[in-house]
Chain A
Amino acid sequence: MSKEAIVVLIKNMLEASAVTLEVFFLTLLFSLPLGLLFASLRMSKYKFIELLVRFYLLIMRGTPLILQLIFFYFLPSQLFGYGHGLPRFWAAILAFSLNYAAYFAEIYRGGIQSVPVGQHEAAAVLGLSKSRTFFKIILPQVVKNILPSMGNEFMTLVKDTALAQTIGVMEIFRLANSSASTNFSTLPIFVAGLFYLIMNSVVSNAFSFVGKKLDYYH
């Protein structure tokens, strides 16, 4: 590729990575709390609610994210007979959020259930309120438990943003793909790979840092 073409590529990549980052952060914004909601419904004492949530979790974790993206993109036109689906970007956010919320829900549930019951009992016997027990005693221990799994999910999400190109979102992968075919070069693919790597290095380091901070006890 010519020098000018590379410069243009990098410039476009930077713009596209802004989209990638938007998808990343918006997905987390919605899916992190949504996962908590599903986790608590999953542990509901009402069998009906528990089964409903388990069904949802099975669907979201059991079918490919790429299919879910296409489904949510076309859903409104199926339901309401529009000429077109949701705006591409928001269809992607919707699909990603619902999908990742399912994974987070199971991670949260595992983390919560792995805190020994003795912790709840000690707090109860000391007269701590339910909310104090959860926020001061249980939650901090859950966070430490689930940190490695959450790190995995965050890094997977960075990479999964590439799937958004399936429904036409102009992010890094789509750009790299079209640039590669336009220029008959694999260089754009490597450049894209580098961008993902840099983003995931930041995520990885962030989790390492938090992990070290939480390592003051065992």
Chain B
Amino acid sequence: MSHGSGKLLVINNLYKAFGGETVLKGISLEVSRGETVAVIGPSGSGKSTLLRCVTMLETVDSGDIIVDGKTMTGNDENGKAVYSDKKQLKAIRLNCGLVFQNFNLFPHLSVMQNITEAPMSVLGLDKDRARETARALLLKMGLSGKEDSYPCQLSGGQQQRVSIARAMALNPQILFFDEPTSALDPELTGEILKAIRGLAAEKMTMVIVTHEMNFARDAADRVIFMDEGVIVEQGPAREVINNPKSERTRAFLSRVE
């Protein structure tokens, strides 16, 4: 149920270091409900780390992360990150879906079992409800009839679509994608981008880390360019990609195109 026009995701001055190296240097950004945001940038720019911090696969050193008005982490008097209690974090976790570059499907479970596992064991849905939802998602992803297949029997593109369905099964308010097409052969990239476009058309709020510039330009509302742990530039997708304001953005785009 949407709660009006508040920002769905607010990140404020995020810092994250691994060992001695600072990977996120004061990242601040907001994502509105229904927006599709593409995050682009060179390897090592911190894009994946940013996603992993927001989905709680990593803990931040300092800064605020607020999802749908609920605080995930904030600073204490010394500027060190303090996370909310387990209950709040769990609620936030269920509101954020993540699609991995390597799919990370559970290989010993069928497609249906992969998708219904979390709704049943975490949300407590009964089997029939969970399977119904799963079937609807599989239909949306163009995978009807694959419910009893195992991941090893599917192509990369099909596996990634199952991944998307699995993330969506918990009905998250915001979906994160960590380079969803990078592990796929070029021919299979299209089916994923098509699936994501479908979600964008339904106004699903999404943050997509990607190397696909054309896709970022055409499917995203806003593009964020990150480099060396900072946001260098952000703005409407077409503007940033076609007419970048910063020299660094221009340099990156010319290298990639």
* Chain A interface residues toward B at CB < 8 A: 116, 118-119, 121-122, 124-129, 132, 136-137, 140-141, 144, 216-218
Contacts and interface: CB of A to CB of B under 8 A. Distances in A.
B108 A144 contact: yes
Contacts of B105: 122
Contacts of B96: 125
A122 B163 CA distance: 10
Q: Give chain B's interface residue range (CB within 8 Å of chain A).
A: 20 to 34
B117 A217 contact: no
Interface of B: 55-57, 90, 93-94, 96-98, 100, 102, 104-108, 117-118, 121-122, 150-152, 166-167, 170
B100 A121 contact: yes
Given A121-B57, A125-B98, A126-B170, A218 B121 contact: no
Contacts of A140: 108
Main secondary structure of the interface of A (DSSP, over half): helix
Nearest to B151: A217
Contacts of B94: 127
Contacts of B117: 126, 128, 136
B106 A127 contact: no
Contacts of A128: 117-118, 121-122
Contacts of B170: 126-127
Nearest to A216: B150
Contacts of A129: 121-122
Contact of B104 (A119, A141, A216, A217): A119
Contacts of B106: 119, 122, 137
Nearest to A122: B104
B93 A136 contact: no
A48 to B, nearest CB: 24
Nearest to B105: A122
**Which of A121, A125, A136, A216 has the largest number of chain B CB atoms within 10 A?**
A125
Given A122-B100, A125-B93, A126-B166, A141 B107 contact: yes
A125 B108 contact: no
A122 B169 CA distance: 14
A134 to B, nearest CB: 13
A120 to B, nearest CB: 9
**Which of B104, B166, B167 has the largest number of chain A CB atoms within 10 A?**
B104
Nearest to B163: A122
B107 A218 contact: yes
B121 A132 contact: yes
